[in-house]
Amino acid sequence: MKRFNYGSTALWNTILLFAVIFAVFVLPILPSGWLKTLFRTVYTLIYFYAILSLEKRKNALIILLVSTFMTEWISGILNLPGLLTLAKFINILLFFVIVVSLIRQIATARKVSAGVILGSLAGYLLLGLGYGDIVVLLKPYTRSLATLIAVTGQFYIAIIVALLVGKFSAQNVNFSDE
């Protein structure tokens, strides 16, 4: 069966990067009356664009995406506490799967392209979103999780930059040999 081409990963990585930049830098300064619906809308778009930016989209990921959308929007509209807790759990799971999938895609890319660099920037900012959504001083486990996310961000920089530089250097060596 032939798969439908949703566009280049560079295009979706660019859109994803702008959506994440909006969520990180613009959403926090908007009037608080808009935030709940706008926050939910922006995160829905981020998840959607992140799925489209992945070269390998598995059915389980699509099911998780649809489940996240349904629980998030229904819990927000109906204000059901139990469903809201389930929506948060599914959001965290989808967020984790997306970030791991983006990192895997970047790490396994054969060449350094604009799409790979944009994907690595979006992945890094997504890690920052994870850190920014945790109120650190509430409970000991949130402090531990916030520390884990902060340290992961530093490892991300070190490892991804090293991978990209190594692949870019290998590309340049191959070009000079030809």
106 is in which domain, residue-wise? 9-173
| pTM for the structure as a whole | 0.72
In a domain, 49, yes or no: yes
Type and span of the H or E element at 77: helix 59-78
Q: What pLDDT band is residue 137 in, cutting at 50, 70 and 90?
A: low
* Secondary structure letter of residue 5 according to DSSP: P
In a domain, 36, yes or no: yes
Which range among 1-5, 44-48, 133-137, 146-150 shows the weakest confidence by mean pLDDT? Answer: 1-5
- pLDDT of 154 higher than 50: yes
- pLDDT of 3 higher than 70: no
In a domain, 95, yes or no: yes
- pLDDT of 111 higher than 60: yes
pLDDT at 134: 46
Count how many domains the chain has.
Answer: 1
In a domain, 2, yes or no: no
What region does 136 belong to: left with phi over 0, alpha with psi -120 to 50, or beta? Answer: alpha
In a domain, 4, yes or no: no
pLDDT digits (tens, 9 = 90+) for 39-87: 888 888 998 998 888 887 778 888 888 998 999 888 888 888 888 888 8
* Secondary structure letter of residue 25 according to DSSP: I
pLDDT at 4: 43
Q: Give the Å distances, CA to CA, from 59 to 28, 54, 72, 100, 144.
A: 33, 13, 20, 16, 33
pLDDT at 138: 64
In a domain, 97, yes or no: yes
- pLDDT of 176 higher than 60: no
Q: Which of 20, 47, 175, 48 is nearest to 112 (CA)?
A: 175
pLDDT at 130: 55
Measure the CA–CA gap between 85 and 89, rounded to whole angstroms: 6
